[in-house]
Amino acid sequence: MSSALSHWLSFSSWWLLLPFVMLLVVAAFIVAFVLLLYMISPLISPKPLKLNGAHVVVTGGSSGIGKCIAMECYKHGAFITLVARDEHKLVQAKKEVEKCAINDKQVVLCISVDVSKDYNQVESVIKQAQEKLGPVDMLVNCAGMSISGKFEEVEVDRFKKLMEVNYLGSVYPTRAVVTTMKERRMGRIMFVSSQAGQIGLFGYTAYSPSKFALRGLAEALQMEMKPYNIYVTVAYPPDTDTPGFAEENKTKPLETRLISETSGVCQPEQVAKVVVKDAVQGNFTSSFGPDGYMLSALTCGMSPVTSITEGLQQIVTMGLFRTIALFYLGSFDSIVRRCMIQREQSKAADKRE
Ligand SMILES: NC(=O)C1=CN([C@@H]2O[C@H](COP(=O)(O)OP(=O)(O)OC[C@H]3O[C@@H](n4cnc5c(N)ncnc54)[C@H](OP(=O)(O)O)[C@@H]3O)[C@@H](O)[C@H]2O)C=CC1
Ligand SMILES: CCCCCCCCCCCCCCCC(=O)[C@@H](N)CO
């Protein structure tokens, strides 16, 4: 036995195997190289968009995050079309955006239209804007609204309303710009979702789905648009200090407020800076702060990647972030349970009085 083993290990038998081993190593290298090429091909970063002189259309550009996005783009020399319904707010916003000019050629155009109602109307106003300021280089879908409340207390028609404004209100303007973008083989399309479009939260049974829908739209659209050099960005802001947020807070359930507080409140100027930078770079995902970063890595699923570092970070952090997420989920459950117990106790006390 021991002599057979020593014979097996003797140099002469190894030398015989060497050509096969080398062949195997070469084959393994070739396979690894091809696999690497396959992995890296979707990771090649796009060329950044030049904002100077570009035409940027911002829906919801008369208030809050949309207005700050318009101002941020104006600071980089863009021409802006603001889209919203209320003409008075549009005129006010136009004045504010104009203050951010960096040259005297820049123009701000205002268009009053409801982005969620009639596609033909949206298409015709986008056409008008293109005639005045040239083809759209970047579309920012920021028009939106939020309604919060317990599932059974939200009026049934509000579910439809939120899908119309937040989802269809992003589909229509996008549909109106893509043909020209494809012809020009360039463009950027941004969808402003929300952290509530990455996780479903207490009180957001109507709002969250309308923001989740944007992610599905963005993924499918990005796959269609990539060969035409058009890049899609989905932004996931946390609570942001805007008129829309103040309005939402008037009727927000306590649970929703306590859970959302985890992620803090941002300023719209900060949000605008980050999303504009991400859209210019062609990043698919745009998020804010440590919680936003973790949420995006955790919910990356099959969404496109735009840099090698992003892909590697997702691979390495997934397990850790899921572990952290379980603690967050535990704390959200306990917030909901405590609020329920408190409500029941105060109801019982009211009855006794
Ligand atoms: N603030 C926050 O905490 C967060 C907000 N978001 C999202 O960001 C986006 C902007 O929010 P925020 O800045 O707070 O909102 P605001 O309410 O401050 O602004 C909303 C803008 O959208 C316009 N708008 C609303 N409905 C329509 C419509 N049907 N057609 C055309 N324009 C419309 C409004 O103008 P007008 O009413 O005149 O039409 C206004 O310009 C929303 O999609 C929101 O869901 C995401 C995460 C957090
Ligand atoms: C590793 C895992 C980390 C998990 C962190 C979870 C944090 C959840 C916070 C959710 C905040 C939701 C804000 C919605 C804002 C919004 O859209 C409305 N204000 C619109 O008006």
In the chain, domain spans:
55-317
Query: In the chain, which stretches have pLDDT less than 70?
Result: 1-13, 41-43
Residue 67 CA, ligand 2 centroid: distance in Å: 21
Which of 108, 228, 111 shows the shortest CA–CA distance to 173?
111
Active site residues: 193, 207, 211
Tell me, what's the pLDDT at 11?
A: 57
**Ligand 2 nearest atom to the CA of residue 260, by list position:** 11
Ligand 2, pocket residues at CB < 6 Å? 146, 194-196, 199, 201, 238-239, 244-245, 248, 260, 262-263, 291, 294-295, 298, 321, 324-325, 328
Residue 65 CA, ligand 1 centroid: distance in Å: 7
**Ligand 2 nearest atom to the CA of residue 324, by list position:** 1
The correct answer on CATH 3.40.50.720 for the domain covering 55-317 is yes
Other beta carbons within 10 Å of 333: 11
Exposure string for 292-311, b = 16+ CB within 10 A, e = fewer: bebbbbbbbeebbbbeeebb
Tell me, what's the pLDDT at 260?
A: 97
CA distance 101 to 72: 10
Tell me, what's the pLDDT at 36?
A: 82
Ligand 1 site, residue 63, Cβ cutoff 6 A: yes
Find out whether 141 and 174 touch, Cβ atoms under 8 Å. Answer: yes
Model confidence, pTM? 0.92
CA distance 37 to 110: 46
Torsions phi, psi of 111, nearest 5? -130, 125
**Ligand 1 nearest atom to the CA of residue 207, by list position:** 45
